[in-house]
Amino acid sequence: DFLPLKCDACGEVFCKDHIRYDDHKCSSAYKKNVQVPVCPLCNTPIPVQKGEVPDIVVGAHIDMDCKYNPAQQKQKIFTNKCIKPGCKRREMMKVFCEQCGGNFCIKHRHPLDHECKGSRQPLSKA
């Protein structure tokens, strides 16, 4: 079953079991590899010119112009904590009381819901 097949990357002759680049550990496989490597940090596709080694190009991208920001991965969305005693809810946006100026969650946003001390007359009985 030896079928002489010529590797299109390195030019060597192999049988059908060893014609794949990985099977014969082709040192010229990168010349025929048409996949676009993606930066593992910023998930940006990195253009590789014909004849360049993708690992070296991605490494240069990481060293020079990678836009990866590790602090951005850790940012929390719900950062605005309700100041009503006992409430541990957080909201994405600040919800201020018009009377006392405190930051509350949606549940405690109305003056009657957080026992507002801003003015004696509540604006509504919502």
Q: What is the mean pLDDT of residues 81-109?
A: 90
Whether 61 maps to a domain, the answer reads: yes
Whether 121 has a pLDDT exceeding 70, the answer reads no
Same-domain status, 27 and 40:
no
Whether 24 has a pLDDT exceeding 60, the answer reads yes
Read off the pTM. Answer: 0.38
Whether 125 maps to a domain, the answer reads: no
Torsion angles phi and psi, residue 72, rounded to 5:
-70, -30
- Long-range contacts of 43-52, Cβ-Cβ distance < 8 Å, separation of 24 or more: none
Band (pLDDT 50/70/90 cuts) for residue 107 is very high
Whether 126 maps to a domain, the answer reads: no
Question: Percent of the chain having pLDDT more than 90?
Answer: 12
The count of domains in the chain is 3
Q: Which domain holds residue 56?
A: 34-72
Contact partners, residue 79, CB within 8 Å, separation at least 6: 90, 92
* Tens-digit pLDDT profile for residues 37-62: 898 888 889 888 877 888 899 999 98
Same-domain status, 12 and 42:
no
Whether 124 maps to a domain, the answer reads: no
CATH number, domain with residue 104:
4.10.1110.10
pLDDT of res. 48: 84
Least trusted range by pLDDT, from 77-81, 95-99, 105-109: 77-81
pLDDT of res. 2: 59
Q: How far apart are CA 82 and CA 78, in angstroms?
A: 11
Same-domain status, 85 and 108:
yes
